[in-house]
Structure 1
Amino acid sequence: MESLQEIQQFLTLETPQHVKSIAITYVLSLTGSKEGQELLCKCSEIVAALGKLAAEDKDPVVSKESLLCLVNLSAEEDGAAVLLKSISKLTGTCAKNIIDENCTLADPWSMVLSNVSRSLPLAEQVFDEIESKLNDLISAFTRIDYNKKKCHLNYLGPIFSNLSQVTKGREFFCQADAETLSRLIPFVQYEESLVRKGGIVGLLKNICFDSSRHLFLLEEINILPIVLLSLAGPEEYSDEENDKFSMELQYLSPDKQRENDPDIRKMLIDSLNQLCATRKAREFLRSNGTYEILRELHKWENTDAGDKLCLISCENVVDILIRTEDEIGEDNLKSLDVPNDLVEKFDKMGSNLVEE
């Protein structure tokens, strides 16, 4: 701790560049281990100094290495909380640099903002602090090659996903005119970046947890064809089955590939599971070919190419869709009061299936 306090005196804007560079390199090496991160997080003055150097130092190497320190320190929730507490206006600085199309460090700034907004308690704080900048961030995200210094801004996807954990965040993304969400949802099928695509799929999944948004998602945003297209493979369907599908899903080519990443597939299936909570949404899913797509997905997930967790999630949705509404007997499944002992039993059964 004493050595850190000695280092701190060199982490200033006024320190000669060669001395400051040595100090920053040492601190960056500490952030590469859990023990080093914990040690640094106990020294809020150093964290604050790193924030100032990252935002204001004119030397590109110093500012970059200071920023990378912040990326590493914010990787865990405890460190993220320390950053938000120690660095004045951190989230605003992140947003400002991400929106700046000439910022060479927009990507690491977006990684910091993604890290500090990951947990629900911190996401609430971050949303309140950057709500006024969200439209600008969405514009930057939806314009490919927005950044003129070749930063990709892919981590804006996870930022939007993190903020949609918050009630106010979901309200923002589901504004009445549907324009905000309509601009983001197409990235569910974005193939150039798993981070960007996964972030928007996470956003969609979070919104699907809110049953009051189901008809908005299905009828105004029209998310079902986008979700099902990601889960569909090259399988052939009868003319009767194709008639159920939207145009995007009809008569797919023999080389059609379904989503390759199992984590993203599972989030998409879990989104469908959440949509099954309400009767109107279940009826919409049935009448638009959801069962037929999941039937073929289930067969594929049961092969060596598939994934056990995706298979179980798929079965959960199919089990609901094949039942009649009289058999289900509830308009909203979220209103059911499931005893804690049964919840634990079902969780254990799921764990056992995964291990088999």
Structure 2
Amino acid sequence: MPTQLEELVSFLHSPQPAVKQIALDNLVGFSQGPTASVFKYDNCKAIDDLKALSKENSKILVQQSVTILANLCDDDLLRRRISSDVDFLEYLSWKICDLGNTSADIMCILLSNLAKENPINKVFTFTRREKNEEQPNLPPLDRSIFKSNRAIDCLMDCFVKGYDRKLNKFSTFDYLSYFFADISRFKAGRQYFIETQEYDSVTPISKLLVFTEKYDSKIRREGVASTIKNSLFDSETHQRLLEDDNINLLPYILLPIASAKDSEIDEEDMFNLPDELQLLPEDKTRDPVPSIICVHLESILLLCTTKNGREYLRSKSVYPLVRELHKNVENEDIGELCYRIVNVLMRGEPESNQVEELPTRSADDQKNAEDSEDDEDEIIEVA
């Protein structure tokens, strides 16, 4: 005999809308913690019901069903069950780009949570058939805003253009930064962020860099910092990322770790810094979140994996900047990373041109590590 809670879950596929609404009202609170296992009842039929409800026209039905799905992603089995539905992934991706969508932000959270699984790579294949033709099973697309037929490009446009609610008054799209961080752990994701895109002739990672100093949004800074770091796992791309003026990567890694109060950088070193780091305004402060500073320091370490990268960082006075950070910020994790950077940059070049093992896993190992504590591995739950 099903329990009372299991019976409530079964009401999600009732033919009566009012019954579905009552079930959702009561089930949202059970989608977190141990009680979430009730959604596995009857071979996880509730997952299909919730996906169907997320496509309804009712704002409340959509908000509640997507909230439950986002929370259920904390369970590995349920997350895999949701993410294995490629048609739903496609619907979700395009629905986020529906500029009248009142649930876009919670859908960004769900998409980010689903990005822990391999099927998320399908997002790079989601396209509209023709520029002016809408596919009947997908939400509308505002062609005055979105010039690409690819969902990943449109999601990038939402994130870059929509942070101030000018695209969608109901959404900031901040949580797409976590989605980008997760997909950048896959090879296809890293390639996307560092390759110039045909539709606008811009390299996607260059669009994200400005948000490394958006101090009113920890979510954006955190996700973007991790996306940058993950995009650096392929060392053969480092030289182009560092030297291409259209990308201009290094200043946006260094600015969050720099402060106007770093007074002991001598004049010669100061003028070797990237232009953006010279003569900082008096109110320029470091990122207030130590863990985000650590991510940027890990990016610097990744850039140290090639001899050309190390020489470039030396020429740009990265060592004096890191020295000042170490001197002025009391944090054990920051201190350890600063020490490792200084050790790599200030010692002589070994004959083999190899450096010590870096304190970051390979992208694939990082993805599969069961006990990972990285922010990208955390499931975002919705209260």
TM-score interval, smaller chain:
0.7 to 0.9
- Does structure 1 residue 225 correspond to structure 2 residue 251? yes
| Contact 1:91/1:129 (8 A) holds in 2 | no
- Following superposition, the deviation at residue 320 of structure 1 comes to 0.3
- Does structure 1 residue 198 correspond to structure 2 residue 198? no
Secondary structure of the corresponding residue to residue 11 of structure 2: coil
Q: Show structure 2 runs of 5+ residues with no match.
A: 128-148, 359-383
- Following superposition, the deviation at residue 159 of structure 1 comes to 0.8
- Does structure 1 residue 30 correspond to structure 2 residue 30? yes
Q: Aligned residue pairs: how many?
A: 325
- Does structure 1 residue 235 correspond to structure 2 residue 253? no
Separation in 2 of the partners of 1:12 and 1:79?
18
- Which residue number in structure 1 is paired with residue 141 of structure 2? none
Could you give the per-residue CA deviations for residues 241-266 of structure 1, whole angstroms, max 9, x where no partner exists?
11211221112234321111111100
| Contact 2:205/2:228 (8 A) holds in 1 | no
Higher helix share: 1
2:181 to 161, 166, 170: 161
**How many percent identity over aligned positions?**
28
- Does structure 1 residue 255 correspond to structure 2 residue 283? yes
| Contact 1:123/1:162 (8 A) holds in 2 | no
| Contact 1:41/1:73 (8 A) holds in 2 | no
Secondary structure of the corresponding residue to residue 283 of structure 1: helix
- Which residue number in structure 1 is paired with residue 11 of structure 2? 10
| Contact 2:101/2:170 (8 A) holds in 1 | no
TM-score by length of 1: 0.84
Matches for 1:84-163 after TM superposition, within 5 Å: 84-85=83-84, 87=85, 89-119=87-117, 121-124=118-121, 127=124, 132-143=150-161, 144=163, 145-163=165-183
| Contact 1:217/1:223 (8 A) holds in 2 | yes
More divergent stretch after superposition (174-183 vs 1-10): 1-10
Q: Show structure 1 runs of 5+ residues with no match.
A: 337-356
Secondary structure of the corresponding residue to residue 55 of structure 2: helix
- Following superposition, the deviation at residue 123 of structure 1 comes to 4.2
Separation in 1 of the partners of 2:314 and 2:351?
16
- Following superposition, the deviation at residue 161 of structure 1 comes to 1.0
Separation in 1 of the partners of 2:30 and 2:167?
31
Separation in 2 of the partners of 1:246 and 1:16?
60
Separation in 2 of the partners of 1:312 and 1:206?
20
Q: Which amino acid aligns with 1:331?
A: N
Separation in 2 of the partners of 1:13 and 1:286?
66
Q: Which amino acid aligns with 1:168?
A: A
- Following superposition, the deviation at residue 284 of structure 1 comes to 0.2
Higher relative contact order (CA 8 A, sep 6+): 2
- Following superposition, the deviation at residue 286 of structure 1 comes to 0.3
Distance change in 2, residues 1:12/1:284 (3 Å): same
Secondary structure of the corresponding residue to residue 134 of structure 1: helix
More divergent stretch after superposition (61-70 vs 133-142): 61-70
| Contact 1:41/1:82 (8 A) holds in 2 | no
Could you give the per-residue CA deviations for residues 258-298 of structure 1, whole angstroms, max 9, x where no partner exists?
11111110000000001100000000000001001000001
- Following superposition, the deviation at residue 88 of structure 1 comes to 6.0
- Which residue number in structure 1 is paired with residue 298 of structure 2? 270
| Contact 1:142/1:183 (8 A) holds in 2 | yes
Separation in 2 of the partners of 1:329 and 1:41?
58
TM-score by length of 2: 0.79
Separation in 1 of the partners of 2:213 and 2:76?
30
More divergent stretch after superposition (89-98 vs 133-142): 89-98
Distance change in 2, residues 1:149/1:178 (3 Å): closer
